[in-house]
Amino acid sequence: MNMIWRNCVCHLRQGKVPHRCQSGAHPVAPLGSRILTDPAKVFEHNMWDHMQWSEEEEAAARKKVEENSATRVAPEEQVKFESDANKYWDTFYQTHKNKFFKNRNWLLREFPEILPVDQNAKEKVEESSWDQIRSNFSRMQGTEAHCGESCVSSAPGNKGRPNFPNPDLEEHSEGPGKTGRFPGSNATFRILEVGCGAGNSVFPILNTLQNFPGAFLYCCDFAPEAVRLVKSHASYTEARCSAFVHDVCDDGLAYPFPDGVLDAILLVFVLSSIHPGRMQAVVHRLSRLLKPGGMLLFRDHGRYDNAQLRFKKGRCLSENFYVRGDGTRAYFFTKGEVHRMFCEAGLHEKQNLVDHRLQVNRKKQVVMHRVWVQGKFQKPLHWTQRGNE
């Protein structure tokens, strides 16, 4: 614990904020700011932000992973975890219903891109914390590396957003119009949540979208029970949302809307449950769904997260990929892997950071290092699937 404290204080003294700094000159994300400066106070809160690992802690984590990865699940047994992946998740939702995951109430704080920047709607919204967060975010956007001030539009309803052509406007009038009507075809801002589960992100988003009449939310999951749970929720309304069963690994499956119409895609703790060999194709396919300027928003398990260290021997499928007792799987990413995967799909990195915290169980008086990777990737104007514009 002393080592953790020393690291934190050392960074504070030097005026550095460890781990929350993004790659290159990108802005720092508005993540939490509870810093542990006095080790005696560690049990005063459930979570501490910006934690640093000491070399010893990192070496111990590496050793633990080497140990729990030494024995792999037999290849013939692995086949069923892949072919029946949706069944394992379906059983998960039949068992836990919507009680397992907590509502992702942090979502709009971390990903304000989920909301349209609509001046008319904004005027109707009371001065709220979201407004504050969004204006802070817009200010930060001004320092972005890929798109300088010259490409930020001042058009009404597009304040602070890059000036990309919108397929709904005249230049792209053959877009959705040509393909006919589809759920959300009249919307001016469309979001897709992939792997929505029981709706722990869907409903906080829908709640906020009430203030944005032009916005529409799609959400999909390959577990039919998850989609049933979302559709049976009291706040589900087809006027603003469309939930559907869909396997993102199945390239041949059509989406209920055309390519190039989404403003934002949310990938929260989903890619980690997909076989690493299939992730790149999934990211490519999803990138096609975005409008130019659209954002892919990612958050998932990070390498050496406590959840990875806790796996027992015999649960490892391949490097950093494990199967839980219920047949669902989890991969643990590094920031570099995330960068490569999304950039290979032709997207531009706007944020890519490791969110490293110390989680405290005050009752048991134990601490755990939690690690998540969070990224924001934007589709450029001239997008090609290989990433070479």
Ligand X SMILES: C[S@@+](CC[C@H](N)C(=O)[O-])C[C@H]1O[C@@H](n2cnc3c(N)ncnc32)[C@H](O)[C@@H]1O
Q: Nearest to ligand X by Cβ — which residue?
A: 195
Strand partners, 89: none
- CB closer to ligand X out of 158 and 200: 200
- CB closer to ligand X out of 52 and 200: 200
CA distance 166 to 63: 50
Q: Least Å distance between CB 384 and ligand X?
A: 25
- CB closer to ligand X out of 81 and 130: 81
CA distance 302 to 354: 7
Q: Least Å distance between CB 351 and ligand X?
A: 18
Binding site for ligand X (CB under 6 A): 85, 89, 101, 104, 195-197, 200-201, 221-223, 226, 247-249, 268-270, 273-274
Q: Give the E-state strand segments of the chain in sequence order.
A: 47-48, 189-194, 215-221, 241-245, 262-268, 290-301, 316-318, 321-323, 329-331, 348-361, 366-378
Q: Least Å distance between CB 301 and ligand X?
A: 9
The helix-helix angle for 75-83 and 85-96 (nearest 10°) equals 60
- CB closer to ligand X out of 12 and 249: 249
- CB closer to ligand X out of 82 and 344: 82
Q: Least Å distance between CB 237 and ligand X?
A: 20
Number of H helices, E strands in the chain: 13, 11
- CB closer to ligand X out of 112 and 197: 197
Closest CA relative to residue 297, chosen from 270, 316, 329: 270
Q: Least Å distance between CB 299 and ligand X?
A: 8
Q: Least Å distance between CB 372 and ligand X?
A: 12
Tell me how far apart the terminal alpha carbons of the chain are, to the nearest angstrom. 48
CA distance 389 to 381: 9
- CB closer to ligand X out of 73 and 281: 281
**Six-digit token string for 272:** 């980690």
- CB closer to ligand X out of 200 and 352: 200
CA distance 162 to 3: 43
Q: Least Å distance between CB 236 and ligand X?
A: 16
Contacts by residues 7-16 (CB-CB < 8 Å, ≥ 24 positions apart): 7/51, 7/52, 7/53, 7/54, 8/35, 8/36, 8/37, 8/50, 8/51, 8/52, 9/37, 11/50, 11/52, 12/37
Closest CA relative to residue 193, chosen from 236, 261, 239, 244: 244
Q: Least Å distance between CB 381 and ligand X?
A: 29
Q: Least Å distance between CB 86 and ligand X?
A: 7
Q: Per-residue b/e over 284-303, b at no fewer than 16 CB within 10 Å?
A: bbbbbbbbbbbbbbbbbbbb
How many CA atoms lie within 13 Å of 179's alpha carbon, on the beta-carbon side?
18
Q: Per-residue b/e over 243-267, b at no fewer than 16 CB within 10 Å?
A: bebbbbbeeeeebebbebbbbbbbb
Q: Least Å distance between CB 231 and ligand X?
A: 14
- CB closer to ligand X out of 43 and 100: 100
- CB closer to ligand X out of 212 and 269: 269
